[in-house]
Structure 1
Amino acid sequence: MTQILQPLIEQRADPYIYRHTDGYYYFTASVPQYDRIELRRAKTIEGLASAQTRDVWRKPDTGAYSELIWAPEIHFNQGAWYVYFAAAPSREIKNKLFQHRMYALRNENANPLEGQWEFMGQVDTGIDSFCLDATTFTHKGQLYYLWAQKHEDIEGNSNLYIAPMKTPWQIEGQPIMLSKPEHEWECRGFLVNEGPSVLKKNGKIFISYSASATDHNYAMGLLWADENADLLDPASWHKSDQPVLQTCFEHKIYGPGHNSFTVAEDGSTVLLVYHARTYTEIVGDPLWNPDRHTFVKPLRWDADGMPDFGRPSIA
């Protein structure tokens, strides 16, 4: 019998779930007001839905990072907790709305819902342009930063970049572009590659990402490289020609994307975490519509060890 999925958490876009060594799942996402960073934790995935939330950081009223707090992620890097997020400056500074840059917070308490969060400043990529959706991962002892950014010489809104990190809040070296919008399904409404997420499995490094406008056209693609390859060499990476997750019109789950990966309570089943809408009759700009909900489903695998994302509506 087909199990039609229901949202785990309503009105939480860009969801990120991390299972820590303390046995807790930690959850953060964009809140509809885009004005703060909210955390919650629970012993189970289902428990996150009803877990008490804590606002760990609120935007200032004015300044370089005082508008549109987007897509926070919580990571435990080199012995401390970090939240990476994007924020835009006050309009009186840039006189434009979408001028996001990326920032980091740090908390050295064992429980990140307690203790103090320290503002570590901007994560400077060396390219002064719109950027967002940072994630981090460690491979063979090296911490990497992976994000989306606009380049003035490349048509479109954002491309995917990678760089090694000197500290959990500073990159070193030149950013390396891994992907740009080029397929038709990446260029519907907007030319976008954003929201990267990393999964290591079956001897490969997988990077999922999202593309196109944030309405029903939003869809996910996939990059992958051999785990022994040079991750800073674009030639090491392969790219899917077709989306790996897209709108399911049959079951009315629209625009799945901006995902993360976590693991089930059994410690081995990989879970796909993503947001999607349950209707298309959006009034006004889809950005301001709060009804992007968090969904969670098991990730399947094919005979070649490649991930099978299935449909966003079916577990």
Structure 2
Amino acid sequence: MVAQENGAQANAGEAPRVVCYTRTKVATKLGNALHLGYSEDGRHYVALNNDACVMALRKVDNEPGLTEEQKIPGVMKTLTAPYLFRMKEGGFGVVALRTDQNGISDVSATGSFLFIKSRDLVHYEPEQLCRLPVSEMLEAVSCEYDEAVGKYRVRWMIKGKVFQSHTADFLRFSPVKAVPKLDGVQEKITGNQRNFLNACFGNSLALTVEEGKYLKNKLGRIVNVGVLPLEMSVPVSPSVISDIRKKRATLLYSDGSRAEKRVIWNEEDLKSLTSATSGTYAVRGKIFQYSFNYPVSMSNCADPNILYYQGKYYMVSTYEVEWNRIPIRCSDTLDGLTDANHRWKEAVLIQGEGPHWAPELHVIGSRLYMLLAIIKGDKGVQAYMMQLKENGDPMKPEDWSTPIRVVKSDGSPIYTDGKTEGLSLDMTYIEDGGKSYVCWSDRKKCFVNGKDVDPGPVLRIATVDPKEPWKLTSTPSVIGSEAYSWSFCIRPLQLAEGPFVLESKDDNIYMVYSGGGVTGGNYEVGMLTARKGSNLLDPASWSNSPRPWMNNGSPVSQVGPGHNSFVRDEYGDLYNVYHSGHRPRHTSVCPVHFRFDGSPVIDMAPYEEVNPNLQQVEMRVRLISPSK
């Protein structure tokens, strides 16, 4: 937590408040975006979304003045000088100034400001560029609803002078007049390494208790705050110990959510019950957590994937030491796969001349497949599959088929040549509503007047038949094409790679993807959502979050986390498997938690999952006579 220094605001009482800001000394695409901080009492603030943005601007690909070469990939835009206000009809508004990819005033937005609507400061409508009746660059902007006029009062600064106009629709503006100052007060808050690092603050806004609670619970860190009392009644029988071993603890979290966690019960206490008669007994236990040697679990393993299959855990990854081979690791336990525990055996599943990337293991139909990307000759990186023979051993290379090229419905490859047609990689498999799909990172070649124009990688999805999953049965569709500035790589080009679907408890499909780079601190994780049972081939079925869901430092001490997959262990608990770091990259694992509304938390730290002070538990066991 950090203390607010602005004296006037510090006396505002105990009402919750939200403050907006941007950040410097980070990549422009990350810092020049809307950030929010939250305060329970109007004095002490904490950064939301791990000090990462809550909304970044979309790429621009349809504005006047863009060339055809610019329209294909789109142009990255950023923002600065945000200002929060309330909409008359309810909800919130944000005004800001648009900047270019370098954080410099955007010449194409001369005389303009950005207007963004949000119902709750978590979800945002597409931004609108509002043209004022002026022809100079704005230096700052504010907006408030003017009850006396019945319109919104927009004020802006040009060359140190402040002007004002009114608008009802942010399209038409009244005549401009000079005024003494902008609305609002720029906040001053002390930052640290975890909160408001190199922040440039805008104004703050009072919230209702319910608004503040929702904002904090959706964008704040979620931590374990309690454990429900443990008790159970079981009949005296030979199975009493096995019945107790199955008992889980219900953990309570700061957002009101709950999670059932395994408990390792004290063996001495259990043994004492083998000869016990009816009565009440205390059994001690410890809430279970895997030993993943956080934050680095498996070294030199990028693009990791773990599958629990036929009683064992199998892990495949891009091998950072030698890219031309795919190792496979096997263990009886999930944490046995880690370097430190070393309860695993390993084999080289495939080795070739060119790089082999991003393998994933999936059971499709009744067979085990490995989806992977391979560079063969001058064809560029393309998607392949390998099939395990019936009753085969996943650890034996000879039990796998040779790589099968993924093809379209007519039998031709997705792309024949990477130099002239395109690239396909990072393929994953999805099932929903009785249908099977594959989704992958796609980089289709585009040419304008004979010039090669790189559109950047996007995600494509198509249906497949589980009997022949390497053959597409529909025309591929692009999803999540509205790239946000945080997802752009250095060139700058939009980047979407490593898609993978998380099994959720609610009615949504959550698909993670990674962007912002390939390694290092700019690599972050985004989220696409769709309703279960919807037409997943329809781009309109998917919603792309304008904020990263996992970012640099959100898993503590980790740089550039991403390229996720998820594994459900033998007990039904879900874990996020991802890599972090620069070259080399390493694999880490963390638990997946579900917030109060069913949305996933994919960057929970061990001490947030289970409060160390609450890990030791005691259960009241009532043994009942079988005759009762």
TM-score by length of 1: 0.85
Q: 1:177 aligns with which of 474, 478, 483?
A: 478
Query: Residues 156 and 107 from structure 1, CA distance in 2 versus in 1: closer, same or farther, beyond 3 angstroms?
Result: same
Counterpart AA for 1:15:
P
Do 1:263 and 1:270's aligned partners in 2 also have CA atoms closer than 8 Å? yes
Instruction: Give yes or no for the alignment of 1:305 onto 2:305.
Output: no
Q: 1:276 aligns with which of 572, 580, 583?
A: 580
RMSD over aligned CA atoms reads 2.4
Q: 2:372 aligns with which of 57, 69, 85?
A: 85
Instruction: Give yes or no for the alignment of 1:113 onto 2:400.
Output: no
Which residue number corresponds to residue 514 of structure 2?
210
Query: SS of 2:540's equivalent?
Result: helix
Which residue number corresponds to residue 381 of structure 2?
100
Instruction: Give yes or no for the alignment of 1:188 onto 2:486.
Output: no
Do 2:433 and 2:532's aligned partners in 1 also have CA atoms closer than 8 Å? no
| 1:196 CA displacement | 0.3
Do 1:248 and 1:311's aligned partners in 2 also have CA atoms closer than 8 Å? no
| Bigger relative contact order, structure 1 or 2 (CA pairs below 8 A, ≥6 apart) | 1
| 1:76 CA displacement | 1.7
Alpha-carbon distance in 1 for matches of 2:460, 2:606: 30
Instruction: Give yes or no for the alignment of 1:41 onto 2:41.
Output: no
Counterpart AA for 2:368:
W
Aligned residues: 290
Q: How does 1:1-315 map to 2 (within 5 A)?
A: 5-20=294-309, 22-32=310-320, 33-49=322-338, 50=342, 51-59=344-352, 66-90=353-377, 93=378, 99-108=380-389, 109-114=391-396, 115-125=398-408, 126-127=414-415, 128-153=421-446, 156-166=455-465, 167-180=468-481, 182-189=483-490, 190-201=493-504, 202-214=506-518, 215-248=520-553, 251-267=556-572, 269-277=573-581, 289=583, 291-310=584-603
Query: SS of 1:157's equivalent?
Result: coil
Counterpart AA for 1:306:
S
Do 1:253 and 1:276's aligned partners in 2 also have CA atoms closer than 8 Å? yes
Higher Cα Rg: structure 1 or 2? 2
Do 1:7 and 1:295's aligned partners in 2 also have CA atoms closer than 8 Å? yes
Query: Residues 156 and 234 from structure 1, CA distance in 2 versus in 1: closer, same or farther, beyond 3 angstroms?
Result: same
Counterpart AA for 1:25:
Y
Alpha-carbon distance in 1 for matches of 2:543, 2:347: 40
| 1:182 CA displacement | 1.7
Deviations 1:99-134 (A, max 9, x none): 211111111134311352112421135344112100
Counterpart AA for 1:209:
Y
Alpha-carbon distance in 2 for matches of 1:250, 1:168: 35
Query: Residues 241 and 302 from structure 1, CA distance in 2 versus in 1: closer, same or farther, beyond 3 angstroms?
Result: same
Alpha-carbon distance in 2 for matches of 1:276, 1:8: 11
TM-score by length of 2: 0.44
Deviations 1:26-81 (A, max 9, x none): 1100012111121122221111122111112111xxxxxx3111111111212222
| 1:210 CA displacement | 0.2
Alpha-carbon distance in 2 for matches of 1:102, 1:180: 21
Do 2:555 and 2:603's aligned partners in 1 also have CA atoms closer than 8 Å? no
Contiguous gaps of at least 5 residues in structure 1? 60-65, 278-285
| 1:188 CA displacement | 3.4
Counterpart AA for 1:84:
L
| 1:197 CA displacement | 0.5
Identical columns (%) = 28
Do 1:245 and 1:311's aligned partners in 2 also have CA atoms closer than 8 Å? no
Counterpart AA for 1:151:
K
Do 1:219 and 1:255's aligned partners in 2 also have CA atoms closer than 8 Å? yes
Counterpart AA for 1:161:
R
Do 1:272 and 1:299's aligned partners in 2 also have CA atoms closer than 8 Å? yes
Query: Residues 239 and 227 from structure 1, CA distance in 2 versus in 1: closer, same or farther, beyond 3 angstroms?
Result: same
| 1:177 CA displacement | 0.6
